[in-house]
Chains A and B, each alone.
Chain A
Amino acid sequence: MEKESIFLVVKDAIADVLPDVDTEAVSIEQNLKSLGANSIDRTEIVMSSMEKLGIKLPLVSFGGVENIEDMVDVMVDAYR
């Protein structure tokens, strides 16, 4: 799956977890914290995205993630 498609899946998960965020305006360079996500919100966005994509990765795989793009890249690798 293309990086762009996975980003759309992540944006869907963001919309579920953070209903006040306008996901149309979210760019891939932003980080989840700046959107108002606390640590549980962030974990839930990761888990929910993985569930939508049907991939299973240990959470430590996302340890070095700085922004949404890094997170999407981890999922792109796993999806391949």
Chain B
Amino acid sequence: MRRLYIILVMAVCISIILFVVAFFYIDTHRHTTFFYNIYQNQNIFSTARLDKYNTEDKIVYKSETLTPFHSVYDKHRRNLSINKKGLKVHSYNKKHLSEGVSMNIYIMRVDSSINFLAVGHSNFAYANRLPMNKDFVVFEKDAIISYFNLVDKYDFKLGGLQSIHALTHTYTFLPPHKSDLEVWIHDEEIIEIAGKKIKAVCLKIKLPDKNEIYVWINRWTHIPLLVKEPRSGFKAVYQETQKRITAKRYTRESDEYENREIAFKNKDISLSGTISVPKGEGPFKAVILAWGPGPQDREALGMFTDIADGLARNDTAVLRFDKRGIAKSEGDFSRFTGEDLISDLSCALDFLLKQEEIDKDRIAILGHSEGGYSAAHLAAINPNISACIIMAGVEAVNLPDTDLEMMWDFDKSATNWNEKYMNDISDTAKDTAEILKSGKDWALLLHKRIFLKKCRLDIEKKSSDIIRKLGVPTLILRGGKDTVTLPGHIELLEEALKDGGNDVYEIIYFNRLNHFFGEKVEDGTHRTHLSIDKNVIDTIAKWLNKNLIVAPEPAPEPPAEETASPEEEETPEEGAIELREIEEDPPEENISRKGVL
């Protein structure tokens, strides 16, 4: 009996060894790895590893791009599965990852159509069977995996100019865009890659926006060696090993204020942040910052770093913190709803009220984009908020996107939209709404468990109801070049404020600025971040000084005519007006103001 056990154990051990050996053998023969360095404007931006697997029926490409310079995500994973028969795309999966956060895109071929699913944190979009009659490649110009797919599809025997149908996914919650790429052999030359001279074929790709991309591929193996898009400064270069690169975080410090790391609790969840407190004698007026959509930390792509710095220099304490489940804050961002967000902001306010150096009667809240809604909501329900600042509206109309990198390119990609694509968007909206009709919190789509609650609550929420309840002084800022919120959105906000009887509001347009009130900065040292225009911060600081004033000693009320200041006398009831106080700094045409002061 004992001998039998020994034999059995030996058999199991030998089987395991054979299995492991078989795995290694199979992997060696069916798997190849390639490395690339990716440059943006001469600076190294990311490094990519691409694995190619040959299975019985499919060619599977898997890539992982490390992007320490990306504004939000550290890693981008892509999987592309191609049927060997006819080299048809079977499925495509894209994942953007950062600390505890992921954004997933799934595209799956079903007969002559595709299924599309986007899961961005606690949001989602779904399209069932979008028509896709033609064979296609998946093409994203900054993803090295796309060039493998494209080179596979180009018929070298036929040669010449070939039109290849492509699917490009740009906006997280919008379906992939269909277009045609023109590809042809441009040249043959010897290029030097990784210290070796290699005979290469140069393929030229003409994109629908007329941009041209050059791809040098190995003459014999057809492996992409060098990819260049001269106009955008994008370049991918083949490497023999993967290089490790790091980027610094964008921070700002000054002797005029102190940045303190803080943490407060919302029930069991600990939320971490930074409070910037001016040096000198308090108590100081204070501002809580509320972010726009997506996985944002306390810096909000550098926007809050700049705002906190600018306001703290102007004797204002600023509290900013990481969203639930992001960076150092605890919680699950994939089940995060608008209600949780308001609750977290409310706890931040409670934290501020407990601080000795903060003047409890002079606390304001500032929200950017979707954060404008959160800010208005808290200001409407909590009497401890004395003023509210709404930057760039209260919601992103028609763009439930959280991918800010893509938003910057919105104008360019929008020009390629056609009627067919608008139909795809419409179908996606319908299919997504159909899923939400179930009223459930969870659903199973394409074998993935999807959280529905946030999406449903977002649709049900009515921002105008909240704005009507907003009784505190309110400042609304809008960039004239904002392509995310519609211009009419601000008028609706104003109407709601008037309906609610709020007569202490001001609307300021920064005509040359966009949704983010600043520029994207790619300096090759720090993570990609935003630099907010100084005029915006100065305007906020001045407005806060004017509206968050220390309560005066009670005095007998003088007659109404005598109290009116010269400024108030000059102010017309309605319409855009220029104010003298900001004329000297920015050019007059860049800022216009409107409102009842």
A binds B: no
Residues of B within 8 A of A (CB): none
